[in-house]
Amino acid sequence: MLFNSIEFFLFLPLVFCLYWFVTNRNLRLQNLLILASSYVFYGAWDWRFLLLIFFSSAADFTIGWLMGSTPEHQKRRRKLLLWLSLALNLGILGFFKYYNFFTDALIDLLQGFGLHANYRTLYIILPVGISFYTFQTLSYTIDIYRGKLKPSKDPIAFFAFVSFFPQLVAGPIERASNLLPQFEKKRSFDFDQARDGARQMLWGFFKKIVIADNCGILVDTVFADIGGSSGSMILLALCYFSFQIYCDFSGYSDIAIGCAKLFGIGLMDNFKYPYFARNIGEFWRRWHISLSTWFRDYLYIPLGGSRVSQKRAIFNVMAIFLVSGFWHGANWTFILWGFLHGLFFIPLLLMGQNRSYLDVAANDRILPSIKELFLIGLTFLMTTLAWIPFRAESLSHVGEIINGLMSSSLLSIPPMMKMIPYIAVFVLIEWWGRRKRYPLENLEFAKPVRWGIYLTLFAAIFLLGDFSQKGEFIYFQF
């Protein structure tokens, strides 16, 4: 079920009313309603995959319970249980997402040695959201193993935590230590929290429908015909894609976080104005935060982080970025995307600048300095160029795009500039609200002005949105 669908606009008010007016006096019933609603939400894509998420939930709940009942001194048994959780979760993820990739890679390798093998590529449908809920359940068993979390004794609360519908399909990837306890304690309706959630959802819908979807139409037109597009058109399409993927994914996160607030649940921030970052290190502290911090805590730090030799630190950084690229998809293009970001990051690591710029740009000023503006522009250019392999369908497609960019037509005036005014207004709004979780948070205007802003956003969504398209979110494919 898509957030931007008629079904969801019927589904959400129904669940909200049942949640607060029918089951509000019984925590277990509230969680049961969330669980049932989440399975309906997820099953709207393909009900067969409900068996998969049920199995993952049941397996990790059982493993967590067994691990919690195992004394601390029986480290071998606890480690075996952890490895069982890793094997089950990553095995399922690997089969559905990477089977054909590894099969094709193996065949290519054998052919490189002059060997020929008969094989069959399976037609495997990738379950929506599997990469997200797999990492979420893994955080549960890993944190129990580390002694940071007690096993849940309530299977309904645990199953609701795994399948919570606002963030089930595309995150944020929540830690069990943050989200699970919220399902284990009574929740009371908070009007201010619900109102804040509705505002954040409105901003998310604006980003998705007005900016991302309209940019996507222009991007698809150019990338479908690279040979017939000028260099300037390709460059403009890349810039549009930068805003498309940001507004699409962060728009989803805003809708998910805002929707969760309607039910008294707090989710972590997933984006913090990444295109105002002044270097790649800051960009990754502001982009897809739930994934980057997951890799930091469960892979980068266990590998030694940066508190090792310089060579090992470089290896650790490249490993994280390559794994991050591979997490996004079974294609060499995503691995190349991760590799590029690793290359961009390593100079910062070597110069000790990887933790610079911890505050927001122009934190105490209205406008950025010349230096900040230059660094923001440079970082945006680097990330935009790195989006080439992310958007490309294959490595050969990457080559076509680069060749198109390097043509003399790069200096020509491109058509398709109608989105530039909308993007400019969007950037100004984001800059104005960069110190907040999202720009509409805590609007300190008179009531008529506030409602004028809300109505303007509503009007933009309905007048500028292209509802003839299916409107799926980009990160559903991951």
Question: Does residue 131 contact residue 294 with C-beta atoms inside 8 Å?
Answer: no
CA distances from residue 344 to 290, 296, 299, 331, 412 in whole angstroms, order as listed: 21, 17, 20, 21, 29
**429 vs 441: CA distance, rounded Å:** 12
Tokens of 366: 């209205």
CB atoms within 10 A of CB 242: 22
Following CA atoms 221, 223, 228, 233 in sequence, which dihedral angle do they give, to the nearest 10 degrees?
Answer: 80
Q: What is the DSSP string of 197-229?
A: HHHHHHHHHIIIIIIIHHHHHHHHHHHT-GGGS
Helices 130-145 and 75-112, interaxial angle, to 10°?
Answer: 140
Question: Does residue 188 contact residue 264 with C-beta atoms inside 8 Å?
Answer: yes
Q: Is 341 a catalytic residue?
A: no
**360 vs 393: CA distance, rounded Å:** 35
DSSP tag of 70: S
Q: What is the DSSP string of 115-174?
A: ----------PPPTTHHHHHHHHHHHHHHHHTTSSPPPS-HHHHHHHHH-HHHHTT----
Catalytic member of 73, 288, 328, 341: 328
The dihedral of CA 251, 257, 260, 262: what is its sign? negative
- The catalytic residues are 328
